[in-house]
Structures are given as C-alpha cells and as structure tokens.
C-alpha cells in the first residue's frame, strides 16, 4: 500500500516505568514483527512514566538509531493508565496498539491483531491464557477482582484482559472524548461498542526488572476499577440497612419476650457490645464507600490535567 510520507498506519504505545533492561530487546522484537507484517509506516511511542533508572536514556539512544522511536516524558510517576491515555492522545496512527514494556505481552502477536484489523475488526483485545508465568498471589487476586468487578460493574469485564490491544482510529477518538479524571480503560473499552474481536495469548515471564504493581497499587487499582465504572457499591448501604433492620426487629422481639416472660433481662451485655461494634464497622465501610465517590467528584470538578509532559519527541 502506498502512503504519504507523514501518514502513520500503526502506532505502538508503551507505558514505561523503570524498564531499562527491556527497551532494546522490545524494540528489536517489534522491528522484526513490523517487517514480517510488511508495515513500514509506524511509530513506537514510549511513555516514560517518571522512571528513575536509565529507561529514558535507553529510549533516546534507540531513537538516535531509529527515528520511528518516539517518547513522551512525564514530569513524575502518574501511573500506568495515565501513561496509556497520554499515548492515545499523542498517537497518530490509523490503528494504535498498546502493550507493556516488560515483554510479557509478546510483540509478535501484533501481526495477528494487525491482520484482524485489516479484515475489518475495530478493536482487537487479548485474553491471557496460561497463567503459569504469573505468580500464585497475583493470579488469585486477579481472579477475585474480576469476580467482584463483574458482580458490581454495569458491563462485565472479561477475565484476563489486560491493556494489550489494538484500537482503530475511530475507537481511539472515542476514548479521547472521555474526560474522566480517573481512568480505567479495561472497564471503559468494552462499553464502547464497535466491532470487537478477542484473541488468546500466553503471557511470557517479565524479561527484566520487577513488577511495578505492589500490593497497595493493585488494591488501589481494583477499588478504582470498580468505582470508576459502577455506582452499585453505593446501593450496598440500602441492602445492608434492610438486612440489619430485619435482624434488629427479630432481636427486639426476643428482648421483649425476655423482659416479659423471664427474669434474664439484664444479661446480653456481650451481644450488645458485639452488635454495636459490628454495626459500627459496617457504617465505617459504607461511609468510606460514599467518601470514595465524593472524592472522585471533587477531583473531577477541579478539571486538572491528568498527566504532565515534561519532554516530547513528537513534533506535529
Ligand atoms: N507502568 C507504568 N507506570 C506505573 C506502573 C507500571 O507505566 O506506575 C508500566 C510498566 O512499565 C509496564 C506496564 O505498565 O510496562 C505494566 O506494569 P507491570 O509489568 O509492572 O505490571 P504487571 O505485569 O506485573 O501487572
Ligand atoms: Mg508486567
């Protein structure tokens, strides 16, 4: 296919946070994939999410040898989802692929995505298959998250979907129109519609470095994922309230019975304390849930930019 010199067919966006040991190999494997696909008009956009190692230097080094390597440098660490958003905002391709920098998402799969896109798919998402290369704890916690999210979310999130996907320009533009301060692409993208095709893949082991998702980051990610796409947790208080009102009514009947027909009315201190503490705990949780949503409204109302770019190699 002939193309204008400034026409880009495929953009690959890569959130990068302290991935110095992965960049050279990733680019090498991407290059092999591009040439196997016969794609010549492409760009790789590394979004350096405030790395403190040599990641950016390595990217710049690669760029000095290959002008298709581009980068955006964040002013600090904003997080994976915002790096993805920045990539989508700056990508120029007719299709955009997002993948992790650590080679867990095999770059070779892009060839399959690209072929599906050429055949009319507008969104190609991936499903993680064999989970052996992922730690036990991560596997179990991911399972629990998808179970919970799918109970609470308005639109189910398919288990094992990661941020490894191809999006047509139409899809990218649709995502760019969402002005959400907190972004959970995995929950948002399935709701968009379009012609979606899923493919399976086996994730590889992380090539170099360590996971950037600590337990607390994963916990935040899960809370954010659920509360950014669903208001259902807010209704929890109604159900719990009803449940406890019923219990209280039954217990009230029992207390009246004790007072009227027995002489044991003063006992029951233990059950009183236990129920006060328990109900107090439930109330804390519910106030916390309301607080999360209130906090989200507060952040959204400020309309702050969701990321800040310090340096940018893309001139347009
Ligand atoms: N990442 C990022 N910012 C962060 C955390 C992670 O850009 O704050 C990038 C990271 O460099 C990698 C991708 O997001 O390319 C996925 O992170 P990681 O591999 O650590 O997550 P895991 O695969 O363990 O879930
Ligand atoms: Mg990884």
Per-residue pLDDT tens over the stretch 303-315: 888 899 999 998 6
Ligand 1 pocket check: which of 213, 222, 224, 309 to mutate, most ligand atoms within 8 Å of Cβ? 213
Q: Per residue in 2-54, pLDDT tens?
A: 445 578 999 999 999 999 999 999 999 999 999 999 988 999 999 999 999 99
d(C-alpha 167, C-alpha 88), whole Å: 10
Q: Ligand 2 mean position to 8 CA, how many Å?
A: 27
| Banded pLDDT at 96 (limits 50, 70, 90) | very high
Distance (Å, rounded) from C-alpha 268 to C-alpha 292?
36
Write down how long the chain is: 316
- Name residues whose C-beta falls within 8 Å of residue 226's C-beta, 6 or more positions apart in sequence: 148, 149, 152, 153, 233
- pLDDT of res. 107: 94
Point out the ligand 1 atom lying closest to the alpha carbon of residue 206: 19
Q: Is the minimum distance from the CB of 122 to ligand 1 under 6 angstroms?
A: no
- The pLDDT value given to residue 1: 46
Strands annotated E in the chain: 10-16, 42-48, 69-74, 95-98, 123-128, 161-168, 196-201, 309-312
Q: Does 183 have pLDDT greater than 80? A: no
Q: Please say if the pLDDT value at position 203 is more than 90.
A: no
Pocket test for ligand 1, best of 13, 27, 72, 100 (most atoms within 8 A of CB): 100
| 217-243: average pLDDT | 78
Per-residue pLDDT, averaged over 82-101, amounts to 94
**Residue having the nearest C-alpha atom to atom 22 of ligand 1:** 211
Q: Quick: pLDDT tens for 109-153.
A: 999 999 999 999 999 998 887 666 667 777 777 778 778 777 776
- Structure confidence at residue 47 (pLDDT): 96
Ligand 1 centre distance from Cα of residue 210 (Å): 9
- The sheet with strand 10-16 has its strands ordered as 196-201, 123-128, 161-168, 95-98, 10-16, 42-48, 69-74, 309-312
Greater confidence (158 vs 47) lies with 47
Look up residue 181 and give its DSSP letter: S
Strands (E), 183-313: 196-201, 309-312
Report the pLDDT value the prediction gives residue 266, as an integer from 0 to 100. 67
Can you tell me the mean pLDDT for 295-300?
82
Residue 156 vs residue 182, higher pLDDT: 182
| 77 CA closest ligand 1 atom index | 8
- Residue 80 Cβ inside 6 Å of ligand 1? The answer reads yes
Cα-based distances in Å from 133 to 23, 105, 138: 20, 12, 10
C-alpha of residue 209 to centroid of ligand 2, in Å = 9
d(CA 299, CA 316): 30
Ligand 1 proximity of 101 Cβ (cutoff 6 Å): yes
Q: Evaluate: CB of 85 within 6 angstroms of ligand 1.
A: no
- Distance from Cα 69 to the centre of ligand 2, integer Å: 21
251-286 tens-digit pLDDT: 888 888 877 887 766 667 777 787 888 888 888 888
Find the mean pLDDT for residues 96-118.
94
* C-beta 100 within 6 A of ligand 1: yes
CA-CA-CA-CA torsion sign (77, 81, 82, 86): positive
Grade residue 68 by pLDDT with cuts at 50, 70 and 90.
very high
- Using DSSP's 3-state secondary structure scheme, residue 254 falls into helix
Q: How far apart are CA 176 and CA 171, in angstroms?
A: 9
- Of 80, 201, 224, best ligand 1 pocket probe by most atoms within 8 Å of the beta carbon: 80
C-beta of 212 in contact with ligand 1 (< 6 A)? yes
What is the model's pLDDT at position 64? 93
The reply to whether the predicted model has a pTM over 0.95 is: no
> Cα(271) to centroid of ligand 1, in Å?
48
74 bridge partner residues: 309
Q: How many CA atoms lie within 13 A of 294 on its CB side?
A: 6
Least confidently predicted of 52-56, 81-85, 150-154, 180-184: 150-154
């Amino acid at each position: 296919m002939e193309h204008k010199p400034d026409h880009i067919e495929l953009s690959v966006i890569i959130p990068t946070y302290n991935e110095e040991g992965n960049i050279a190999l990733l680019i090498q494997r991407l290059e092999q994939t591009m040439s196997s696909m016969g794609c010549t008009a492409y760009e790789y956009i590394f979004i350096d999410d405030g790395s403190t190692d040599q990641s950016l230097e390595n990217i710049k080094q690669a760029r000095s040898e290959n002008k298709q390597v581009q980068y955006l440098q964040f002013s600090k660490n904003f997080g994976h989802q915002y790096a993805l958003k920045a990539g989508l905002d700056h990508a120029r391709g007719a299709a955009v692929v997002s993948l992790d920098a650590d080679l867990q998402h095999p770059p070779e799969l892009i060839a399959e995505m690209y072929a599906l896109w050429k055949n009319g798919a507008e969104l190609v998402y991936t499903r993680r298959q064999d989970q052996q290369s992922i730690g036990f704890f991560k596997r179990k916690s991911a399972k629990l998250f998808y179970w919970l999210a799918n109970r609470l979310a308005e639109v189910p999130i398919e288990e094992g979907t990661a941020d490894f996907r191809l999006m047509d320009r139409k899809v990218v533009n649709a995502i760019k129109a969402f002005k959400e301060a907190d972004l959970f692409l995995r929950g948002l993208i399935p709701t968009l519609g379009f012609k979606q095709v899923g493919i399976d893949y086996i994730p590889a082991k992380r090539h170099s470095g360590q996971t950037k998702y600590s337990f607390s980051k994963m916990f935040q990610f899960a809370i954010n994922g659920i509360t950014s796409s669903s208001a259902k947790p807010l209704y929890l208080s109604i159900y719990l309230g009803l449940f406890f009102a019923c219990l209280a009514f039954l217990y009230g009947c029992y207390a009246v019975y004790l007072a009227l027909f027995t002489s044991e009315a003063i006992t029951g201190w233990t059950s009183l304390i236990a129920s006060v503490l328990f109900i107090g705990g439930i109330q804390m949780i519910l106030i916390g849930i309301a607080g999360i949503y209130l906090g989200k409204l507060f952040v959204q109302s400020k309309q702050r930019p969701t990321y800040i770019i310090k340096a940018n190699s893309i001139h347009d």
